[in-house]
Amino acid sequence: MAELESSKYLSGLLNGIAQNTYYENTEITEELLKNELYPDISQEEFHTLLEKMKGVLKSIASADMDFNQLEAFLTAQTKKQGGVSAEQAAVLSKFWKNHKSKIRESLISQSRWDNSLRNVSWRVDLKTQSRHADQVNAAVAVVELELGKTGKESEFICLEFDEAKVNHVLKKMCEIEESISAITHNS
């Protein structure tokens, strides 16, 4: 019963660490975590626990460990002096299984410093009347690109394309696709 309880609190602690470190939720502070999860232990004891868990999580996340690597790593940690207990290792394992992709995604985006494409919206209009007769009944694509970077407001770019231009862009996309496939198959 006590074991289940402490697992629950450790899980909560790991979640809190993830929120603060990886999901940029600054509301989850050390103080909050202590008060909510470990009100009965001393400040010093809590701090030690927190730092240890942060360190372990950092190692796991930085190496983006797969589950074999994780098992090996955690087993080593349980055998170490000042490492983690078997019970804590189990909690860490479960936590990583649930959060691996999300944390990785967050870390990747932390090294994106330029604008990145957030969204694409589009519509197709039909030009029915114009000064120039040859534009009548010509389809026009209107595309809005949302570009942004973390912490800044998005920039919206509105573009228009005729059919030939859309074709041209599609060809480029196919070239890019080929390039990516070549890389991902080789890695």
Partner 1 sequence: MSSAGKAAASAAGKPSDRTGFLGARIPSEVEVMTKHLKDLDKEMFRKILKAVVSALEGKDCRESMTAIAEHGNLSEEQLSYIIAGMYTLLKEALRLPASSLKQEVFKDDLRDIRIAEEFIADFASVIFGSRRAVLDSAAAQQGTRRAGIADFRWRVDVAISTSSLARALQPSILMQMKLTDGNAHRFEVPVSKFQELRYNVALILKEMNDLEKKVC
List interacting residues with partner 1 (CB under 8 A). 61-64, 104, 107-108, 110-112, 114-118, 120, 122, 124, 126, 131-133, 137-139, 141-143, 145, 147, 157-161, 163, 165-170, 172-177, 179-180, 183-184, 187
In the complex with partner 1, which residue's Cβ is closer, 71 or 163? 163
Which letter, b or e, does each residue of 101-112 get, where b requires 16 or more Cβ atoms within 10 Å of its Cβ?
Answer: eebeebeeeeee
CB of 153 to partner 1, least distance (A): 15
**DSSP character at residue 131:** S
Measured from the CB atom, the residue of 1 and 133 that comes closer to partner 1 is: 133
Taking the least distance from each CB to partner 1, the nearer of 36 and 160 is 160
> Which CB, 45 or 51, lies closer to partner 1?
51
Give the tokens for residue 77.
Answer: 């940690």
| Residue 36 C-beta: closest distance to partner 1, Å | 27
Local structure of residue 125 (DSSP, 8 states): E
Query: How distant, in Å, are the alpha carbons of 72, 89, 170, 171, 172 from that of 182?
Result: 32, 39, 19, 17, 16
CB of 43 to partner 1, least distance (A): 28
* Dihedral over alpha carbons 29, 31, 34, 35 (to 10 degrees): -110
